[in-house]
Amino acid sequence: MEKVLEIKGITKKYKNGRGIWDINLDINKGDIFGFLGPNGAGKTTAMKIMTGMMKPDTGDVKIFEHSVIEQFEKAMKKVGCIIETAESYGYLSAYENLKLHSRFYKDIGEERIDEVLEFTGILKYKKEKVKNFSLGMKQRIGIAAAILSKPELVILDEPLNGLDVEGMIEMRKLIKHLSDTEKTTFFISSHLIHDVELTCNRIGIVYNGKLVSVDYTKNILMNYPSLENYFVSEVDKNGNV
């Protein structure tokens, strides 16, 4: 299997003693990987390191065989992401925000921008200033920006934040659609167990800054009645409920 993402022993310790410790993980092409853990478990820290927003104390991350620390541009060339919150420039319109992103890639024209706006359901607001958008709409802009360049790997940190039920269902469909049609690999963090169960085909559980288990969803559901039971069991094994 072709490795898309390799996380090798990353550790990051904050001044308050929290952080992540020795996380090792490989993500293969076509995976929809769910990074599951409670708030404060270290999901965002790991994702920030994966996308170069933060430097690890030790370890490295390779995306498409390029180190994020040493070959950042090459590593991020085929990556789209939302980390923590979907940010956009409030004084620009939805279209202008995406135009700004498009300048970092070749051959992304107006057609592609309209296409992703359509995908995310905000095409009719394309000329409106983002500062007037609701949280859910801003999240959609972030998702549109993440998939704009037709990335082969999409990293989404809590992508359902701010979305209503309809938005959540559409988002799930979008992920499935891109995975099926364009073989896009997804790395999705979430604290919503049910959503991860419905969306992801492989799951890693992170707890107290450590990756406690990784398995395929179908294996998990063969052995446990639900992902929630598996989660409780894995966390319990590591000394906490």
Residue 166: CB atoms within 10 A of its CB come to 10
Residue ranges in 186-225 that form contacts with other proteins under rule CB under 8 A: none
Smallest distance, Å, CB 1 to other proteins?
25
Residue ranges in 80-119 that form contacts with other proteins under rule CB under 8 A: 81, 83-85, 87-89, 91-92, 96, 100-101, 103-106
CA 226 to chain centre: 23
Smallest distance, Å, CB 155 to other proteins?
9
- Assess 152 for contact with other proteins (CB under 8 A): no
Which of residues 77 and 191 has its CB atom nearest to other proteins in the complex? Answer: 77
Which of residues 142 and 231 has its CB atom nearest to other proteins in the complex? Answer: 142
Task: Return the structure tokens found at 179.
Answer: 């995975």
Which of residues 23 and 203 has its CB atom nearest to other proteins in the complex? Answer: 23
Smallest distance, Å, CB 226 to other proteins?
34
d(CA 10, CA 72): 16
Which of residues 120 and 213 has its CB atom nearest to other proteins in the complex? Answer: 120
- Assess 41 for contact with other proteins (CB under 8 A): no
- Assess 23 for contact with other proteins (CB under 8 A): no
Residue 172: CB atoms within 10 A of its CB come to 15
**Which range of residues in 1-9, 51-59, 169-177, 191-199 is near other proteins by CB under 8 A?**
51-59
- Assess 8 for contact with other proteins (CB under 8 A): no
Given a contact cutoff of 8 angstroms between Cβ atoms, the answer to whether 115 and 174 are in contact is no
Which of residues 25 and 81 has its CB atom nearest to other proteins in the complex? Answer: 81
35: nearest Cα among 212, 232, 169, 180: 212
Instruction: Name residues whose C-beta falls within 8 Å of residue 70's C-beta, 6 or more positions apart in sequence.
Output: none
Smallest distance, Å, CB 65 to other proteins?
15
Task: Return the structure tokens found at 53.
Answer: 């927003």
221: nearest Cα among 237, 200, 207: 200
Strands 19-28 and 58-63, by their bridges, are unpaired
Given a contact cutoff of 8 angstroms between Cβ atoms, the answer to whether 117 and 109 are in contact is no
- In the complex, the residues that contact other proteins under the rule CB under 8 A are 48, 51-55, 72-77, 79, 81, 83-85, 87-89, 91-92, 96, 100-101, 103-106, 145
